[in-house]
């Protein structure tokens, strides 16, 4: 008897679940399309900046590399119990 009640309840809410799933899918598709558009614009702007200011990009890459190196060395020092 309990299974019949559960199945009946499930059948009643199934259309609602299907509708919510379609709405969620549509929303996610719209967001993904928007994200792709933004990434295309960002890639284009980055490409233009690299072409216009190659030394600036080289400097930024150097600074980011140094920051990453420092972060890794500090995490290694902490892992070995050394003081920074």
pLDDT tens profile 11-37: 888 888 899 999 999 999 999 999 999
Global pTM reads 0.49
The DSSP secondary structure of 24-52, one letter per residue, reads HHHHHHHHHHHHHHHHHHHHHHHHHHHHH
Is the model's pLDDT at 40 over the cut of 90?
yes
For residues 78 and 69, what is the distance between their CA atoms, to the nearest angstrom? 14
For residues 19 and 74, what is the distance between their CA atoms, to the nearest angstrom? 51
Model pLDDT, residue 31: 95
* Dihedral, CA of residue 47, residue 53, residue 59 and residue 62, to nearest 10: 20
């Amino acid at each position: 008897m309990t299974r019949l009640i559960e199945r009946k309840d499930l059948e009643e809410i199934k259309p609602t679940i299907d509708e919510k799933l379609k709405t969620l899918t549509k929303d996610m598709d719209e967001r993904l399309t928007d994200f792709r558009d933004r990434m295309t614009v960002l890639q284009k702007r980055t490409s233009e900046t690299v072409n216009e200011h190659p030394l600036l990009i080289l400097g930024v890459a150097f600074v980011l590399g140094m920051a990453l190196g420092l972060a890794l060395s500090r995490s290694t020092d902490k892992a070995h119990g050394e003081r920074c």
